[in-house]
Amino acid sequence: MTDTTNMTDATGTTQQELSPLPLDDAGAEALLDAHNPNPALQRHGRAVRGVMRHLARKCGTDPDWWGQVGLLHDLDYEQHPDEHCAVTPQLLRDAGYGEDFIHAVTSHGWGMCPDSPEPAMLMENYLYAADELAGLVNAAVLMRPDRSIYTIEPKSVRKKFKTKGFAVGVDRTVITAGCERLGIELNDLIADVIAGMREVAADIDLVGECERSTPDDSETEGGQ
């Protein structure tokens, strides 16, 4: 579905219309999986799709476009790790995606990948901020005894965020910069990332041993 709703970007500019999506969600999943046989990368794409769909609904816009941007943002990563974000544009063009979609996807590499554009639209800034955070939340859930996204709370993720030795591959500076660009608090973004990942818990293998939300007890696990 094409998102034709007006969207206001982080600087107040309004985008009138987005290009049509050439693939439905199943087709986009097949595209991601064809280029990323690694199940962990397939789950990461689906996690970020869940987060972006949640954020789109929260922002009052259609979740399909935001969701596919999230799903496909690391399309070239497994097969071209040293050219991340550089090969993706052609892969997306070949699949029929528009240049605005390509800009949105590649902007998540801004400052990290050569030639990645600066995030402009609200959607792009959310992707920039939430991508690394989704990885941190995933790692934090896998450390829990129940390995369930349903039972983790933002305060637990905040602790892991501050623990430099935990999930060292997660660039905290990008998350912080993303929150500043959006003008939002880190705790609020953590809550949204958890909420979005809960919506796709089965897809990303984070249902764990608990299938509904229960009080989080990790605050008593000791200071970090």
Token pair for 136:
């941190």
**CB 169 → Fe ion: shortest distance, Å?**
11
Comparing CA positions, the residue from 13, 20, 2 lying closest to residue 119 is: 13
State the Cα–Cα distance between residues 34 and 125, nearest whole angstrom.
27
Q: How far is the CB of 202 from Fe ion (least distance, A)?
A: 20
Options 67, 131, 152, 192; binder of Fe ion; rule CB under 5 A: 131
* DSSP structure class, residue 118: P
CB of 74 to Fe ion, least distance (A): 4
The CA-based angle 89-39-127, given to 5 degrees, is 45
124 binds Fe ion (CB under 5 A): no
- Can you tell me which of 74, 76, 124, 192 binds Fe ion, judged by CB under 5 A? 74
Q: Is 3 in the site for Fe ion (CB under 5 A)?
A: no
Residue 49 or 218: the one with the smaller Cβ distance to Fe ion is 49
Beta strands in 168-222 (DSSP E): none
Number of residues that bind Fe ion (CB under 5 A): 2
Distance separating alpha carbons of residues 159 and 39, to the nearest angstrom: 27
> In the complex, which residue's CB is closest to Fe ion?
131
* Closer CB to Fe ion, 70 or 154, in the complex: 70
Check residue 76 for interaction with Fe ion (CB under 5 A).
Answer: no
Residue 97 carries which side chain, given as an amino acid letter? Y
> Which listed range, 67-75, 115-123, 145-153, 209-217, lies at the site for Fe ion (CB under 5 A)?
67-75
CA pair distance 110, 132, nearest whole angstrom: 13
Q: Nearer to Fe ion by C-beta: 74 or 76?
A: 74
Q: Interface with Fe ion by CB under 5 A: which range of 2-10, 85-93, 125-133, 173-181?
A: 125-133
Residues sharing a CB contact under 8 Å with residue 168, sequence separation 6 or more, in sequence order: none
Return the residue matching tokens 């034709």.
4
List residues near Fe ion by CB under 5 A.
Answer: 74, 131
